[in-house]
Each structure stands twice: as structure tokens, then as C-alpha cells.
Structure 1
Amino acid sequence: MPDPSTYRPATGTIPDSPGVYKFRDPTGRVIYVGKAKSLRQRLNSYFADLSGLHPRTAQMVTTAGSVEWTVVSTEVEALQLEYNWIKEFDPRFNVRYRDDKSYPELAVTLGEEFPRLQVMRGAHRKGVRYFGPYAHAWAIRETLDLLLRVFPARTCSSGVFKRSAQIGRPCLLGYIGKCSAPCTGAVSAEEHRQIVDDFCDFMAGKADPMIRRLEKEMSTAAAELDFEKAARLRDDLGALRRAVEKQAVVLGDGTDADVIGIAADDLLASVQVFHVRGGRVRGQRGWIVDVDAETAGDGLDGPEGGTGGTGRLVENFLLQFYGQRAADEGASAVPKEILIPAVPSDGDEMVQWLADLRGGRVSLRVAQRGDKKDLALTVKRNAAEALAQHRLKRASDLTARSAALMEVADTLGMDAAPLRIECIDISHVQGTNVVASLVVFEDGLPKRSDYRRFAIREKPGDDVASIAEVVRRRFTHGVTGRIADLDSEFTAPPTPVPAEPGRPTAIDPDTGRVRRFAYPPQLLVVDGGAPQVNAAAAVLADLGIADVTVCGLAKRLEEIWVPGEDDPVIFPRTSEALYLLQRLRDEAHRFAITYHRAKRSKSMTQSALDGVAGLGQTRRTALIKHFGSLTQLRLADAEKIAAVPGIGRMTAQSVYAALHPEEAGPPEEPPGGSALADDAAPAPEAGVLDASDSLYMTSTGQASTT
């Protein structure tokens, strides 16, 4: 493996100018192409400490054997040169926006004497006008079949067309009115081309003028008592309206734009594009790509940031997608407006490059409000859904799961593949409401019935101590015949028979059923680095459990830590094992943060009446229901509070004092006896009625129940 220091350029030899650089492997093949405003700053970042680089970046620089660069005068030239080199060399470490399939498009062969309408895939051809791409071929075929009633243009192949011309008889479509039969001379070439031009205008978004024209012709035919023609025009109008309904209006101003949405993590990115023409979504396209070395090094960010990974992803996409489309289709491939999730760092240069491709002005911006922002959010949701579906597809692959489990076992030195894996994660905000989660994967899939959550009791805020506490509580569960160590919300029937030291018995002798968590996992994963892993291993050693492998997954560089090792284990970036461990960690994080948010919300909704002695939930509810709100209750005096059914005089005074601490004083002495001060009054024992609350004194001095 090449050492980056062996081919690092000498200090001061890299120019501080804009340019494009190429990394080559020892055989001379280009493996990465990039551009920079300052070649010196960008290239020096690649030769930093390998432990501080993203795994994919580290893999790239250790694969390379040399680096070279070309200085240009402007950043627009750098963009053009970068695109040309990516297209020429196809570097393996650059993002490749290639479809996993070719998308269908509706093509009109305008270059022929009798243009043909057809659904096509693949590269664009000269003299053909395209509409789309569309996500499904059946959808565009259905729309085309509907429109042939109104625009009876030719759809047959050249062979069928010539054969019909020779025999003087049209095909079936000509007989049923879905083709004007130019093959038999029923219409001239000019008349047929006019039909095709009208079809192109309709597909380009000019449907409203055509609908108005047909409505006018239908009314004229009806006024002239030509009801057959009027009925035919009525059916044509219905077909046009149904076709328009299939392409819903999303932008009322008839905008021509491409809307780009991105959902990404540190490994993969999902990119979706909606092609909006005439205010309607005419096509959709999507990609799942690996994040390239430069993007991964920058990190991913949101719409408000443009210098990080999201901005770089947008830049890469614009460069490759529109560069290729412009080469295939010409200036029409670039729309007037492109809505993006984040502005690239070289936004001005990118706009200039796109404008040169289009031959006119191009607007490149982030949607901020209105329909365009709503559509941008929709595209982003589609990108997130596509990424989730891609992950699920990989997770549901039995072969991939088996390979991932075997790779985990081989890399961590386990005797067999871990069929049961448990993962622990801690969640808190500055040491408050500290909770933990325990998620379980069996055979590489989540087993949600075994998920558990913990409220941390010891040393809240110390993640290492919290990990140790959760590990101890999990592995001592059932050992002493009780389950109090687990969170009370997830308790199981108690274990009456003590287990052997360090391990509970698997079968309950009373029920004959397998106890939950009786079997330990083969692999325990903690969310964190070396300190968390060592803490978990120390607890297992104290408990005498030696057959559970422990590792930690750190978020920063996605490295795997094992106990007692100074250096982490680095899985390949495309490793199915790393993907499995990431899913496990992400699921534990999701489960922990959900519990933490619920607990935090509960702690923030404490009522001002919670501290009043003798006032339970039922009486608090009665007070709020009677007065309508806590504000109205605060305006009431003690007598009005005591008038509420079930509220005694002493409790009313306690409530009033709690709501008016500035006026706090000893309560009034009730008739017939003296009252204890609030701070000296003993709390009622459980099950004993408080006379001041549940009884009231009648005028005769006798006690009666309320």
C-alpha cells in the first residue's frame, strides 16, 4: 500500500491558485479528480494525519501513487476542466451519477417526414424531441393511448408503415380512430405534422389554449346541429382533461424548473430530481451514490450551509448531470431555474457555467417560501424514502446479512457468526434526564420485542459510568431471582429459583417457558470509543462472563474499537458488516432519544399544584375543571376554592398559599378546634382520610361525609 508521504509534493511547490488536480494510482490510472480555489490548501489537507481523515479519503490517498495539478485562470474554467476530466477518466473515487436503469421518455421523431410518437429509453438521438423522463413506462403509455384520441399521430414502426402504404390499408389504430393513417394518404404530410406539433405543444404545457379551442368548436358544432361532431369533440375534451389530471399542477405560474432533493449520511447519498415544465411535474429521476472522498471529508450539512458536504454533493450533481445532458440534448437540457437544497461554495461560477451551457440566464437558488418550497420538501422526502428503501433492500437480502455476520466474526476474532447482537446507547442533554436504550438484532434483523430502555440512576451525565451501569443491570437480570434492575415499565414475571452464579437459568421451572434475556448475546456493541468499550468489558469481567465479545462504534470516523487496543479496527467503506453495525447503532440511538424526549417533556410539565400536601390527581383535576384554568384558580380566594366539592377548608388554604407564596401565612383556625401550621402538619397515612378534606362539620357539630 503506497505511503502518502512518498509522493507528497515538496513544501512551497504547490501554487496558491485555482486549478484542478488528479490523483493517480501506481499504474498511472486516474482514481480521483477534484478542483479547488486554492490548490495549496486543498492538496495539503489530503496529506494530514491518516487517523484524522475520513475512511474513504484515507483509502483514496493510500491507493494513490502520485498527484498532479493544472492551474487555470478562473474558477469557471476549473469547473469545465473538472467535468471534462471526470468524463474522460471515470475516476473510481468520484461520485458517479449513473442510473441503475434507463428511464422511459416520450419521444417524437421530428426528423422524419411523418413523425412518430413512441416510448424510448437510452441515449438521446439527434432530430428527436423528448418529454420526460418518467418513473414508469406503463404510466406514459397509458397517457399516450389517451391522447391518441385527440392527436391521432403515427405510432407504428417503419416496417408496419411501409407495409400499410404498399397494400393501401391502414393498421388497426387507423380503423379505430387513433391514427390519422398518413400511410394511406388519408392526411397529407403537412396535416400530419400539424397534429404532431399540437401534440408537442400540449406536452410542453400549452394545454389550456387547446382546451378552450375545442370547447369553442364543440359549441359551434352544437349550434349548427352537428351533434355527431359535437359529441366527438366532447369526448376529445374529456380525454385531454384526464391527461391533464395525470400531470397535476404544482406551480401555478407555469414555471420551467428542475427541483433537486438530497438525503445523505456519511456513506451514501440519495439524489432525486423532479422536472417541472409548464408548472407540472413531467418527469422524475433518482440516484443512490457513494459519497466521494472530498464530500466525506467536508461532512454533510443542511440547506443553510453551502461549504460542507451537501453543497459539494449539489456541485458534483450539477456538474455531471447537466454536463452530460447538454452534450446529448443541447441547450434545452438546462432549464431557466434550478432549485437546490444548498448553494455550492462556488455558486457564482456554477451559475456562469450553467448559463454558458444553456446560452441564457440560469437561476440557481434555494426555495424559501410558497409552492416552490413545498415542492422542494416533497422532493427531499422522496430522496429520503429512496435511501430508506435502498437500506431495507440491503437489509432484507439474506445473503448480504449472512456475509455481514461472517465478516463481523472474522474481523473481531469470534469463533462463530454472532446470531444475537445487542447495542447500548446513552441519551441526555447536559447531564439531565439521562436514559439508555438496549436494542437487539437476531440474524441481522431487529427483534423489537426485546428492546429495553433504562433510566440511569448512578452518576448521571457520565457516559462511561452510564454504560457500565446498563451493562451490569442487563447481565445481572434474573441472577438473583428478581427483575428490579430492569426498568419497571418492561418487567417480566419474577424468577423464583436462583440461577447459577453469573448466569440465569434459561427455562422457568414453573412455566416451562424461556425467560427473556436468559441467553446472552454473542456480541455487545456500545455507542462510543475506547473508554466506553473498556468500561463495558470491565463489568463483564467482574461478572465472570467471558463468552461475550464487546466492541464500540464511534460516530466520528465510523471506526470499531475493541477492549485493550490502542488503535481501532477499520472496516472497508463498502463493507456489509460496517453497514450492519451502523444500522444497529442508529436504531439504538433512535430508541434512546425517543425515550429521552418523552421523559424530558414529562419533567417540563410540572404543575404549580404538585407540591400541595393532600392534593392528589383527582382533586387537582376537579379544581382545574371547576375554574377552567390555573390562571382563574389563582384569582380565587380560599373561600371560593373551598366551595369546590371535595375540597376542604384546610386544603383550600394550602392551595391558596401555594399559588400566592408572597402572602404565605398560618392558616385560619377552623371552628371547633385549632389547626396545625402547614409546615408541622403530618401527611395523612396511606388509606386514612383527612378530616379537613373528606369531612365537613355540620351546624350541629356532627361530622358528615361529603
Structure 2
Amino acid sequence: MADPASYRPQTGEIPTNPGVYRFRDPHGRVIYVGKAKNLRSRLNSYFANPAGLLPKTYAMVHAASSVEWTVVSSELESLQLEYTWIKEFKPRFNVMFRDDKSYPYLAVSMGEKYPRVQVLRGERRKGTRYFGPYTAGAIRDTMDTLLRVFPVRSCSAGVLKRAEASGRPCLLGYIDKCAAPCVGRISAEDHRALAEDFCTFMGGEAKPFVTRLEKDMAAAVAELDYERAARIRDDIVALKKVFERNAVVLAEGTDADVFALHEDELEAAVQVFHVRGGRIRGQRGWVVEKVEDSTTPDLVEHLLQQVYGEEAGLQGRLPREVLIPVEPSNAAELAQWLSGLRGARVDVRVPQRGDKAALLSTVRDNAEHALKLHKSRRAGDLTLRSQALQELQEALELPIALMRIECFDISHVQGTNVVGSMVVVEDGLPKKSEYRKFSVTGAAATDDTAAMHDVLTRRFRNYLQEKTVQAEATRKPGHQAMLNAVADAAVAPAPHAVADTTTPAPRTKFAYPPNLVVVDGGKPQVNAAARALAELGIDDVYVVGLAKRLEEVWLPDSDFPVILPRASAGLYLLQRIRDEAHRFAISFHRQKRGKAMTVSALDGVPGLGESKRKALLAQFGSVRTIRTASIEELTGAKGIGPSLAAAIVRHFTDDGTDAAAVPAINMTTGEILET
């Protein structure tokens, strides 16, 4: 651990302006980002009396090795820049609100020729409308019910292409839960209008559809068409079921997000109800570990930054009102920032009385229950992870705690398409953003040990190179950082903004080394990995191997393995890491092998380049279909003329006969397409 006094800046060097500061660790990683109205006062508080700091703040200043800052002209700019850097660097000591669940959205891909209804999570996609969030069970029920009335396409792109090629719809088309635009039952324009109706209904306008269906039902009854009337009746019931699922809690037309939290000394749980049109459309929850002396206003500020910062570019998703339990110190700047994201005014306020205050109380009760549930679950999880890491450290007789473990695996089929994988575990949890793939070629692809040596050499050679770059970038004296490209994108610096002459450390991929390297294999693989590290001069990273046969743990240059008890939590952790590396390697190998097979099957056709190959695959869906296609069918693909189509047919004619005489056969149905 570093001594804060070793990198403490001189008081006179720190400006008194508002700004944003960053603490970095010895490897150059940003571990904390903060903002202050007065940088000098705020930064001096970290160094004046470190022994009097809270435990997590004490750990942060001792884990850091440098501090740098950027001066801005206003609190609004500091708010924007702080969020931008937190989002980019994901500092481990910052307040990060983690979802206590995974909340899906009901999405309609209006950017496609035939819009598709689907359940999506994660990153927002361009040209797609989102509704929610919902709980996992509720969204499936909602989607299944609405497809009765609005039979919009819900199949994947692959299923759609197969249906178009075969002329037969999928199962949903047969049971009337899809209008089947793939086979021409409905035109593209009419299907898009159907999707627009779906979006309109999900937006809260249900009454026009119910009224229209009631009129259609009455007309069917008048015509004595009772079967059709019964179907329409069921559709009305389905629509009302979906529409009435969300209780009316506020006046019609009210769009608001209602936040509340419940906290103790270490953690806080947050809940939000999304109210649209006066009805609760969704609910989300987060749990956060407190950092520094975080007050409730501070937590609310960081919560709004994180939640709505992710909504940038989706103006329709931000509500007109944001109701919060307490007002942050910079409420005016927050409201201004949110209004800029939405493109219209956003009110941020604390409800004092009436229905909104009552709803806030209900949300607070949910937050209290969520924190109790989180603590009961987390207690068991933390205990097991800590026990596993401790057992592993003791069994391997390692002098350091296993904060970061990297596991490597090699995958191939009889020496072809050799690939390597690297998975990362920090504090016993996988860190998928730092997983890496390696393609192994040349002499290194001859056997597993050579491939393992190659992968480890490349990984740690990159580490050493980036470590050198980091050292050169931070060798110059000074503590401030220039406004980098991230800051330029976030805020326009004021004319009087202060910037120093130091160069900010570059973003790196491999600069943070593990404490332990685990390889999938026995003694040969372990020795190959240890030799790779020794050749690079790395002696502070420990290496072990886990052999599949008897789950033995091998150490370098050891004649006998370490046998962990079958019920050992440490062995179970190693097995999970090894299995994850194996899964990741196999998935990459299959992807590479499939691509190689596709390229090799179409390779050698004169005049068939990469773009035309992609056009063929987009048109026919697979090499098997291309192989059986006729010249006339091949010319339907973009860029494929008659002469090139004839060359493709000749390429797949192995017996050398005239291509025109070779029949094209549908490999799925056996039907002769051309004679």
C-alpha cells in the first residue's frame, strides 16, 4: 500500500476553483473520481489526517499512487465531467448503483423492413422503441397476450429468412400469433401499421382499440357471425387484462419517476416506480455500497447521474417529473442537466403532501424490504467467496491475497483453428469486460504446450509494453491532468480553465496484472506457462494448473500435485474459473471454425469477392442453400450476374458435368427446384 504522503501535492499547487479530480493506482488505473466546488479544500481533506478517514476512504488513498485534477468554470460542467469519467473508467471506489435484478424491456424494432417485437436487455439499439422495464414474468405474459390482438412478427432474422426461402411460415404464423409477412399474408406497409398500433397501445392509448373492437364485435353479432364475435370478445378481454395490470396511482397524464431509498451505515437500497399516464409501468431497484462519508443528498445526486446518464439520446424515455426523497445540494444544476438530455423541461423536487407523497412512501417501503433481502443473500455469497479465496491461498501457500485471478485455456480440433481464451476473476467474481481471445498460428499451433506458451507470452508482453508506456507518460513532474478527449466531449472548458503540462496516462488493455494465473491442464501446460513468464522476467505472478482427470492442482517444477478436498470451496472456485475459460475458448473456436468453413466453401470462385460472398449469404442464409441454387436463383442476389452465377454452380459441381444439367435440390424438403 502506498503512503499518501508520497504523492500528496503541495497546497499551493492546488487551485481553489471548482473542478473534477482523479486518483490513480500504481498501474495507472483510475480508482476514484470526485468533484468539488473548491479543489484545494476537498483534496487537502484526504491528506490532512488519513488515520481519521472512514475505512473505505482510507483504503482508497492508500491504494492510490497519484492524484490529478481538471478545473472547470461551473458546477454544471463539473457534474457532466464527473459522470463522463465515472462512466468511462468505472472506478472501483466510486458509488456504483448495481441492479438488484435484471430488468427486461419490451422492444419493437421499427428500423427493420418487418418490425419485430422482442424482449431486450442491456444497450439500447437505434431505431427501436422500448417499453418498460418489466419483471421477467410479467413481460412474457404481456407479450404473449398482445400478440393475439397485434400479431406482429416476433421471430429471429434466421427464422424469417428460412420462412421466406421455403414459402412456409413458422409456428406462430399457423396459430395466428404472427401476421406472417414473410410469406405475403400481409404487406410490409400493413405490417408496419400493425406495429405502430402495438406501440400506440403500449404507450398508454388503449381505449381507442377497445372501442373499435367492441364495434366490430357488435357488427359480427348483427351478421350472426358468432365465431368471429367470440374471437373479438377474447381479444377485448386480453387488451383489458394488459391495460388494467398497472394500477392507476396518479392523475391521468402524469409522467414521473418516483425514487426512494433506505440505508444503513454501509449500504443503501434504491427503488424507483416508473409512472406513465398515471399508471405504474415498471419498477427497478439498485443496491450501493457507501464510499466516503456519503450523505443521502450525495447518494441521490449520484443515482440520478447514473440512471439518466444512460438514457442520453432517448429523449422520450425521460419523464417530465423526477420525485426524490431529499434534495441534493446542486438540484438546480441536476434539473438543468436532465432538461438538456430530455430536450424539454424536467422538474426535480421532493413531494410534500398528497398522492405523490403517499406513493413515495410506498416506494420507500419497497426499498426497505429490498435492502433486507439483499443483505440476507449477500451474507452467504460473501462468506463463500471469502472462504474459497482464503482456502486457495492457504493450500497453495501464497504470501499475497488473490485479488485477481486469470485463467487460460486452449481449444482446437486436431490442431486446426487453434485459439486461446483468458477469463478474469476479481474478488471471486467474473469480470467479463476484461475477457480476451487469442488466435494461435504458426509453430505455436503444433501442440497445447506451445500454444499455451504463446498465449501467455503475448498477454504478459503486452502488459510489460503498456507498463513502460504508463511509466513514460507519468514520469514528468506535476499532479494536474490536461483536459483530455473525454473532457472535451463532455464540457466546453472555460477560457480561464487551468491545465497543466503533464500527459494523461493512456487507456490500456493489459496493464493490470493478476496475482494468480490458472491454466487448464497438468504439468506440461503449467511448466510452459511458467517458462513464458520467466522469459519475460516476471517473478511476482504465481502459476498453477488444474488437470481435468482427477482435478489435481499442479505447481511449476513440481513432481507431485496438490490435492484439494473434493468439498473444498477453493477447488470449486478453480473449477468454475476453468470451466468458464473452457466455455469461452470453445465459443471462440466454433465461431472461427464456422467462418473458416464458410470462406473455404466459397473460396476459389473466380470473381467472387468478400462483398459478393456476404450478399450471397444474406440472400440464401447458408452455404448449403447456395450449393443447391440454380443460376436463375443465384442472380437474385445483389451483384451476382449470370456469368458469376454459372461459375458458382460449376464450383459446386464436383463431377465436372455441365452445370446447366445439374439439378438444384432443396436439402430440407428434397424438392427438385430445377431440372
Structure 2 counterparts to residues 675-694 of structure 1, below 5 A = none
**Matched residues, percent identical?**
62
- TM-score for the superposition, normalised by structure 2: 0.55
In the alignment, is residue 25 of structure 1 matched against residue 11 of structure 2?
Answer: no
| RMSD over equivalenced CA pairs, Å | 2.5
- What displacement does 1:110 show? 0.6
Aligned to 2:148, the other structure's residue is in SS state coil
In the alignment, is residue 316 of structure 1 matched against residue 302 of structure 2?
Answer: yes
Gap change, CA 1:254 and 1:11, over 3 Å in 2: same
In the alignment, is residue 368 of structure 1 matched against residue 368 of structure 2?
Answer: no
**How many residues are matched?**
391
Preserved CA contact (<8 Å) 2:11 2:44: no
Which residue pairs with 1:460 in the alignment? none
Which residue pairs with 2:550 in the alignment? none
Gap change, CA 1:401 and 1:15, over 3 Å in 2: closer
Preserved CA contact (<8 Å) 2:101 2:285: no
Name the amino acid aligned to 1:115.
P
Residues 156-205 of structure 1, C-alpha deviations (whole Å, 9 max, x = no match): 22232233333333333223222222222121111111111111111111
Gap change, CA 1:4 and 1:158, over 3 Å in 2: closer
In 2, the alpha carbon distance for the partners of 1:382 and 1:100 equals: 12
Structure 2 counterparts to residues 640-655 of structure 1, below 5 A = none
Name the amino acid aligned to 1:233.
I
In 1, the alpha carbon distance for the partners of 2:218 and 2:250 equals: 31
Gap change, CA 1:77 and 1:372, over 3 Å in 2: same
In 2, the alpha carbon distance for the partners of 1:389 and 1:192 equals: 45
In 2, the alpha carbon distance for the partners of 1:112 and 1:277 equals: 27
In the alignment, is residue 140 of structure 1 matched against residue 122 of structure 2?
Answer: no
Which residue pairs with 2:398 in the alignment? none
- Whose radius of gyration is greater, 1 or 2? 1
Which residue pairs with 2:75 in the alignment? 75
In the alignment, is residue 97 of structure 1 matched against residue 83 of structure 2?
Answer: no
Preserved CA contact (<8 Å) 1:102 1:122: no
Which residue pairs with 1:266 in the alignment? 265
- What displacement does 1:394 show? 3.3
Residues 318-351 of structure 1, C-alpha deviations (whole Å, 9 max, x = no match): 112211221xx53234222111111111111111
Which residue pairs with 2:171 in the alignment? 172
Which residue pairs with 1:559 in the alignment? none
Q: Unaligned regions of 5+ residues in structure 2, if any?
A: 392-675
Aligned to 2:11, the other structure's residue is in SS state coil
Aligned to 2:298, the other structure's residue is in SS state helix
Residues 507-532 of structure 1, C-alpha deviations (whole Å, 9 max, x = no match): xxxxxxxxxxxxxxxxxxxxxxxxxx
In 2, the alpha carbon distance for the partners of 1:205 and 1:192 equals: 21
Residues 112-170 of structure 1, C-alpha deviations (whole Å, 9 max, x = no match): 1111111122322112111122222x321111111111111111222322333333333
In the alignment, is residue 112 of structure 1 matched against residue 112 of structure 2?
Answer: yes
Preserved CA contact (<8 Å) 1:322 1:333: no
In the alignment, is residue 325 of structure 1 matched against residue 311 of structure 2?
Answer: yes
In the alignment, is residue 292 of structure 1 matched against residue 276 of structure 2?
Answer: no
- What displacement does 1:396 show? 4.8
Preserved CA contact (<8 Å) 1:182 1:189: yes
- What displacement does 1:247 show? 2.2
Residues 368-391 of structure 1, C-alpha deviations (whole Å, 9 max, x = no match): 222222222222222211110111
Name the amino acid aligned to 2:299.
L
Aligned to 1:35, the other structure's residue is in SS state strand
Gap change, CA 1:72 and 1:397, over 3 Å in 2: closer
Which residue pairs with 1:358 in the alignment? 342
Aligned to 1:169, the other structure's residue is in SS state coil
Which residue pairs with 2:42 in the alignment? 42
Residues 266-295 of structure 1, C-alpha deviations (whole Å, 9 max, x = no match): 2112122222222222222222221122xx
Aligned to 2:149, the other structure's residue is in SS state coil
Name the amino acid aligned to 1:13.
E
In 2, the alpha carbon distance for the partners of 1:121 and 1:73 equals: 37
Aligned to 1:69, the other structure's residue is in SS state strand
In 1, the alpha carbon distance for the partners of 2:281 and 2:250 equals: 12
Residues 206-238 of structure 1, C-alpha deviations (whole Å, 9 max, x = no match): 112222232233334434544444333222111
In 2, the alpha carbon distance for the partners of 1:96 and 1:110 equals: 33
Of stretches 344-353 and 88-97 in structure 1, the one that deviates more from structure 2 is: 88-97
Preserved CA contact (<8 Å) 2:258 2:273: yes
Q: Unaligned regions of 5+ residues in structure 1, if any?
A: 299-308, 408-706
Which residue pairs with 1:181 in the alignment? 180
Gap change, CA 1:246 and 1:85, over 3 Å in 2: same
Which residue pairs with 1:209 in the alignment? 208
In the alignment, is residue 200 of structure 1 matched against residue 199 of structure 2?
Answer: yes
In 2, the alpha carbon distance for the partners of 1:400 and 1:127 equals: 44
In 1, the alpha carbon distance for the partners of 2:302 and 2:171 equals: 49
Residues 538-590 of structure 1, C-alpha deviations (whole Å, 9 max, x = no match): xxxxxxxxxxxxxxxxxxxxxxxxxxxxxxxxxxxxxxxxxxxxxxxxxxxxx
In 1, the alpha carbon distance for the partners of 2:80 and 2:385 equals: 42
Residues 580-609 of structure 1, C-alpha deviations (whole Å, 9 max, x = no match): xxxxxxxxxxxxxxxxxxxxxxxxxxxxxx
Name the amino acid aligned to 2:256.
A
In 1, the alpha carbon distance for the partners of 2:378 and 2:126 equals: 39
Which residue pairs with 1:394 in the alignment? 378
Preserved CA contact (<8 Å) 1:337 1:363: yes
In 2, the alpha carbon distance for the partners of 1:398 and 1:83 equals: 29
Name the amino acid aligned to 1:394.
R
In the alignment, is residue 62 of structure 1 matched against residue 62 of structure 2?
Answer: yes
In 2, the alpha carbon distance for the partners of 1:62 and 1:156 equals: 53
Which residue pairs with 2:236 in the alignment? 237
In 2, the alpha carbon distance for the partners of 1:228 and 1:27 equals: 72
- What displacement does 1:40 show? 2.4
- What displacement does 1:44 show? 2.5
Preserved CA contact (<8 Å) 2:255 2:276: yes
Which residue pairs with 2:456 in the alignment? none
Gap change, CA 1:11 and 1:206, over 3 Å in 2: same
Q: 1:382 aligns with which of 366, 372, 380?
A: 366
In 2, the alpha carbon distance for the partners of 1:118 and 1:140 equals: 10
In 2, the alpha carbon distance for the partners of 1:173 and 1:27 equals: 54
Aligned to 1:259, the other structure's residue is in SS state strand
Name the amino acid aligned to 2:85.
W
Name the amino acid aligned to 1:317.
L
Preserved CA contact (<8 Å) 1:395 1:401: no
Which residue pairs with 1:149 in the alignment? 148
- What displacement does 1:397 show? 5.8
Residues 666-692 of structure 1, C-alpha deviations (whole Å, 9 max, x = no match): xxxxxxxxxxxxxxxxxxxxxxxxxxx
Q: 2:319 aligns with which of 330, 335, 341?
A: 335
Preserved CA contact (<8 Å) 2:107 2:130: yes
Preserved CA contact (<8 Å) 2:11 2:40: no
In 1, the alpha carbon distance for the partners of 2:166 and 2:24 equals: 63
Structure 2 counterparts to residues 489-528 of structure 1, below 5 A = none
Aligned to 2:244, the other structure's residue is in SS state helix
Gap change, CA 1:218 and 1:287, over 3 Å in 2: same
In 2, the alpha carbon distance for the partners of 1:126 and 1:185 equals: 27
- What displacement does 1:98 show? 3.6
Of stretches 4-13 and 51-60 in structure 1, the one that deviates more from structure 2 is: 4-13
Preserved CA contact (<8 Å) 1:205 1:279: no
Of stretches 25-34 and 390-399 in structure 1, the one that deviates more from structure 2 is: 390-399
Aligned to 2:13, the other structure's residue is in SS state coil
In 2, the alpha carbon distance for the partners of 1:78 and 1:29 equals: 21
In 1, the alpha carbon distance for the partners of 2:53 and 2:381 equals: 31
Gap change, CA 1:98 and 1:325, over 3 Å in 2: farther
Which residue pairs with 2:11 in the alignment? 11
- TM-score for the superposition, normalised by structure 1: 0.52
Higher relative contact order at CA 8 Å, sep ≥6: structure 1 or structure 2? Answer: 2
Gap change, CA 1:152 and 1:4, over 3 Å in 2: same
